[in-house]
Structure 1
Amino acid sequence: MNQRPHAISEGSASVMNPEPMKNPPVKAKKSRAGRNLPASIGVGVGLGALVLALLLAPTVLFLVFVMVVAIMAEVEMARALARIRIKLCLPPLWVGTIGMMLCAYLLGPEGLWAALLATLITCAIWRLSVGPSKFATRDLLATCFVAIYLPFLASFVVIMLHNPHHPAPIILWIVITICNDIGGYAAGVLKGKHPMAPAVSPAKSWEGFAGSLVMCTVAAAIAVWVTGTPLWAIAVLGLFTPVIATCGDLGESLIKRDLQLKDMGHLLPGHGGVMDRLDSLLITVPLFFVVSLFIF
């Protein structure tokens, strides 16, 4: 791999350069899946309680929460990508994150698309203002990828804040997506024998995927019974959620393997980093946004 200067100082602007993410010291596994299960459950319950409290509060508080989480995840991604000498254009990305979510909140999908375009253009101008570099294209493409992967997808949650049945669609999205993780984890630990993609994620098994399908279908059926929504939602949410969530999980695993990281961060005990918790949620939110337009 070509070596690259540690920092770029050309021009009046500079691309922020966080310290590369490091893998933690190797410790004995806490479970067959390699996680500290009590810590994972405790953090998960705590996060769930926080999100529920914010969903029941004025919507602007949840909007701010989503902004903060997205920016934290962007910093995490920047540290991870710094391992291979990629530098994200963080300042315009942060401004674009706030802009996308404000436009989504105030103007809906049309405003979100316009804000995304403005963010990508601004990031390009920012990177060009730094000065010529043979790594400029790689930096810019990575920044554009993160802009779409994080704030753009997360903004669909912001749009759902205006659903007449709020907070039901968002709770449905969180619960069914988490059931995908729980079902996959339980079935994978107990019965997992046939890896789905051993080169990407050796712990991900077909048995775990079957557990995700069952758990998501049960959760979708309960949700339909509780909310009185159409029966077809069981098939759509029960079948498509595990497929899309698994693709999101494998996609993040592919990025981590390329970066030679076990976790994207260490902020959440038992989970890893913010991105390790968001991988499935981010990729499934457009599905729930579209479905919510028809069932609520």
Structure 2
Amino acid sequence: MAQSDQQPRKQRGGRNLQAAIGVGVGLGAVIVASLFFVKVLFLVVVVAAAAVGVWELSSRLTERKGIATPLYPLLAGAVAMPVLGYWAGAQWAAAALALTGLAIMIWRMNQPPENYLRDITAGIFTAFYVPFLATFVALMLAAADGPQRIVLFLVVTICSDTGAYAVGYKFGRNKLAPTISPGKTREGLAGGVGLSMIAGALIMQYVIDGGQWWQGLILGGCAAVTATLGDLAESMIKRDLGIKDMGTLLPGHGGIMDRLDSLLPTAPVVWLLLAAFVGS
């Protein structure tokens, strides 16, 4: 048998395609089951993703840069922010972020003062970047039609990635940000924006109570832009750290943070636009 027949099939970037598809389907099943059978179970998914994301980012910062981010206050914040956001509202989540920052500053005092400012700055950045942004998913979930809002949020973000990949693969010629992510093209960005806008218009019109198709066009376009910027931002972080993936937890996908890169910055935008269009 030829060597090419013995190796697992891979897609561009060297990832195992079969593993990536299997993990993607499994994650999708968990999301659907938690959303539409017992809504609060999806909050557990959000908290778990935030906690693992905090651990991944903190671990890479320590391994590659020697930055000692206080992990235990970060993990406590990763639980407190989404939970308080879901049960008590945005103001409590913001208070949890502030208290997490204070806890990081105090916890780091157990070590010598050298690099104190560097370590707490990285810790506060981690608290904002992962659990606080993830809290906006919990805020969407807390609405009466929370599952439908989460579906809208996930679909427009996935359509942004899918449209960008498909159009960029077929028609991409002009690089979007060659020094950050050489594979991204302007044509791909246009494809992602277009598909995300179509999906947003359809879901807003037919799934979200009180939604209008034109609102979905705006929401989908904004989501595609923030998803792309989020992807580029994490690419910058990984290039600075000198790594390809944030982790290895998800075969064929990398780590949790490699799946959250476009979702995290998109969550507050979708939450805000939904609140403006149909109420919170």
The equivalent of 1:48 in structure 2 is 28
After TM superposition, give the deviation of residue 33 of structure 1 in Å. Answer: 4.7
Does the CA contact (< 8 Å) of 2:84 and 2:93 recur in 1?
Answer: yes
Q: Aligned residue for 2:111?
A: 130
69, 89, 98: which one aligns with 1:117? 98
Query: 2:224 matched to which residue of 1?
Result: 242
Q: Say which structure, 1 or 2, has more relative contact order (CA 8 Å, 6+ apart).
A: 1
What is the CA–CA distance in structure 1 between the aligned matches of 2:140 and 2:192, rounded to whole Å? 25
Taking the aligned partners of 1:246 and 1:29, their CA distance within structure 2 comes to: 27
Aligned residues between the structures: 269
1:97 counterpart = 2:78: yes
CA contact (8 A) 2:17 2:252 kept: yes
Name the structure 1 match of 2:185: 205
Matched residue type, 1:281: L
The structural deviation recorded for 1:217 is 1.5
Distance 2:260 2:204 in 1: 25
- Give 2:252's aligned residue: 270
Q: Distance in 2 between matches of 1:31 and 1:104?
A: 38
Q: 1:78 aligns with which of 58, 63, 66?
A: 58
* 1:34 CA displacement: 4.0
Report how far residue 181 of structure 1 moved: 0.8
Over the aligned positions, Cα root-mean-square deviation in angstroms equals 1.8
Match of 1:229 among 211, 215, 238: 211
User: Would you say the 8 A contact 2:157–2:227 is kept in 1?
Assistant: yes
Whether contact under 8 Å (1:195, 1:205) holds in the other structure is: yes
Percent identical residues: 45
Q: By how many angstroms is 1:235 displaced? A: 2.5
Structure-to-structure mapping, 1:136-151, within 5 angstroms: 136-151=116-131
Q: Deviations over 1:67-100 (max 9, x none)?
A: 1111111111122112111121001111122221
TM-score, normalisation: structure 1: 0.86
Structure 1 unmatched runs, 5+: 1-26
Q: Cα distance 1:33–1:219, how it changes in 2: closer, same or farther (>3 A)?
A: farther
Measure, in 1, the Cα distance between the counterparts of 2:40 and 2:12: 41
Q: Deviations over 1:41-67 (max 9, x none)?
A: 222121111111111233332222211
CA distance in 2, matches of 1:96, 1:288: 22
| Aligned 8 A contact 1:32 1:189 in 2 | no
Deviations 1:126-173 (A, max 9, x none): 11232322x111111011001001110111111222211121001110
Between stretches 141-150 and 152-161, larger displacement belongs to 152-161
**Residue 295 (1) aligns with residue 278 (2):** yes
Is the 8 Å Cα contact of residues 108 and 159 (structure 1) preserved in structure 2? yes
Q: Which runs of 5 or more residues in structure 2 are unaligned? A: 1-6
Paired with 1:149 and 1:59, the residues of 2 have a C-alpha distance of 25
Q: Post-superposition shift, 1:193?
A: 2.0
Tell me the CA shift for residue 29 of structure 1: 8.7
